[in-house]
């Protein structure tokens, strides 16, 4: 039996260095050169819970330890206490300097994750990611970049955040993207969310708004009629407001215009159905294709004289029209309703039936015939 005098100089609180001579499941024996082996219990090996001492140390390792207790001819040592001293100094420095560092997740607990930072660091569930996480089981053993957001040495409290790191990276990336954007650029983005007034599109770490009026050439009642969340779409940048971090985008600007290749869709002489969109003193504008309106001049509305288009037509009315002319270069289509109507006795035009027989082969006498005989 070793006499207590052999290690009387050792006292609680001392720091000693020793070599691991044996590793058992629940404790580690260390040669500290006092003719006795110090004991490091499993719960004094680490600030993070471990199941077996073999997880942390092996025979031959050199350890710096703090004396926890000297009694009953035993020296109880703590690696955890020494690690804590060094770890607190390191954590405080990281906290004061807003340092981002990597740490390994050791435990999944109720409300979050436990990380090994030389001490027990806690990452609340709300501080793990920027999105909601339902199951944290895959995080055990994973390395995460974190920053210290709260410390309290007296309460041995260290709060870490991975989310803060992601948000900082996103802000940095957002600033770089904003600086690189210019009006007129055409880029690809992902539809993030839909609103009553349009769609927000992620264009590389920053969201821009495609107003509902810029989603398509035709009228759009709601954004979901045109796009869905997750869609990859091309957009043109209309404007960039760096001060307010607002980006205006247009999907319409990168789509083929409704007048493009119009001659492949509608031609002179076609009879089509359209919708009266606007009435003016000189005629009516009728939409014959999405985003394509043609003009029915007032003289082409009816086979009788009218003072204004509203005598015959109303906004929203469906009408059949005949195409008189298509001018793709000028974006104009001339239409007629009159040409599809049957002529009436009141508005019969006899101008074609002139007395010049070389043109018509008929004379006025041919029309009125023997009606003149009774006046002879």
| pLDDT tens per residue across span 79-90 | 988 888 888 999
Percent helix / strand / coil, the chain, rounded to 5: 25, 40, 40
Structure confidence at residue 344 as a pLDDT band (50, 70, 90): low
Lowest mean pLDDT among 106-120, 196-210, 234-248, 249-263: 249-263
Cβ atoms of residues 115 and 146 within 8 Å: yes
For residue 51, the domain's CATH number is 2.40.50.140
Domain match, 77 and 110 both: no
Q: Quick one: CA torsion of 127, 133, 135, 141, rounded to 10 degrees?
A: -50
Is 353 domain-assigned?
Answer: no
List Cβ neighbours of 145 (8 Å cut-off, separation of 6 or more): 100, 101, 102, 162, 165
DSSP state letter for 4: G
Give pLDDT tens digits for 273-321.
999 999 999 999 999 988 889 999 999 999 999 999 999 999 999 999 9
Q: Tokens 């340092």 sit at which residue?
A: 99
Domain end: 166, 191, 212, which one? 166
Is 331 domain-assigned?
Answer: yes
Cβ atoms of residues 31 and 19 within 8 Å: yes
Domain residues for the domain of 231 are 181-254
pTM score, whole prediction? 0.51
pLDDT at 302: 93
Containing H/E element for 368?
helix 364-368
Structure confidence at residue 371 as a pLDDT band (50, 70, 90): very low
Domain end: 120, 137, 166, which one? 166
Is 91 domain-assigned?
Answer: no
Cβ atoms of residues 116 and 46 within 8 Å: yes
Domain end: 119, 139, 166, which one? 166
Is 279 domain-assigned?
Answer: yes
Q: Please give the Cα distance from 253 to 185 (Å, whole number).
A: 11
Does residue 14 have a pLDDT over 70? yes
Q: Chain-wide mean pLDDT for the chain? A: 86
pLDDT at 200: 96
Domain match, 124 and 158 both: yes
Cβ atoms of residues 162 and 145 within 8 Å: yes
Domain match, 10 and 43 both: yes
In the chain, the number of structural domains is: 4
Q: H helices of 129-282, where?
A: 163-180
Domain match, 273 and 241 both: no
Q: Report residue 269 as tokens.
A: 């002489």
Q: Tokens 């020793």 sit at which residue?
A: 18
Residue 119, number of CB atoms within 10 A of its CB: 22
Tell which residue, 265, 278, 264, 276, has the closest CA to residue 320. Answer: 276
The percent of residues above 90 in pLDDT, for the chain, comes to 60
Lowest mean pLDDT among 4-18, 186-200, 348-362: 348-362
């Amino acid at each position: 039996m070793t006499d207590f005098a052999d290690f009387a100089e050792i006292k609680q609180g001392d720091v000693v260095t020793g070599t691991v001579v044996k590793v058992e499941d629940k404790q580690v024996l260390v040669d500290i050169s006092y003719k006795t082996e110090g004991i490091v219990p499993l719960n004094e090996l680490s600030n993070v819970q471990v199941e077996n001492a073999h997880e942390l140390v092996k025979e031959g390792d050199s350890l710096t330890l703090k004396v926890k207790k000297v009694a009953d001819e035993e020296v109880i040592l703590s690696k955890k206490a020494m690690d804590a001293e060094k770890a607190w100094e390191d954590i405080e420095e990281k906290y004061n300097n807003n340092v981002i560092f990597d740490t390994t997740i050791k435990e999944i607990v109720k409300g979050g994750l436990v990380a090994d930072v030389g001490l027990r660091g806690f990452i609340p569930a709300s501080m793990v990611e920027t999105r909601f996480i339902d199951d944290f089981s895959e995080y055990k053993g994973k390395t995460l970049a974190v920053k210290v957001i709260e410390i309290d040495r007296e309460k041995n409290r260290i709060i870490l955040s991975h989310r803060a790191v992601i948000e900082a990276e996103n802000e940095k990336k957002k600033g770089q993207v904003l600086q690189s954007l210019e009006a007129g650029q055409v880029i690809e983005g992902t539809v993030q969310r839909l609103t009553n007034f349009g769609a927000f599109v992620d264009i590389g770490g920053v969201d821009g708004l495609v107003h509902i009026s810029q989603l398509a050439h035709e009228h759009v009642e709601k954004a979901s009629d045109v796009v869905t969340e997750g869609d990859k779409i091309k957009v043109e940048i209309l404007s960039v407001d760096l001060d307010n971090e607002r980006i205006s985008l247009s999907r319409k600007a990168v789509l083929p215009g409704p007048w493009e290749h119009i001659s492949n869709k509608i031609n002179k002489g076609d009879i089509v159905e359209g919708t009266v969109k606007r009435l003016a003193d000189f005629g009516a504008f009728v939409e014959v294709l999405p985003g394509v309106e043609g003009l029915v001049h007032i003289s082409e509305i009816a086979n009788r004289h009218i003072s204004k288009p509203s005598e015959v037509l109303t906004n929203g009315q469906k009408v059949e029209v005949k195409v008189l002319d298509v001018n793709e270069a000028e974006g104009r289509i001339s239409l007629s309703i009159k040409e599809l109507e049957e002529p009436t006795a009141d508005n019969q035009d006899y101008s074609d039936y002139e007395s010049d027989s070389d043109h018509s082969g008929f004379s006025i006498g041919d029309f009125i015939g023997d009606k003149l005989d009774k006046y002879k």
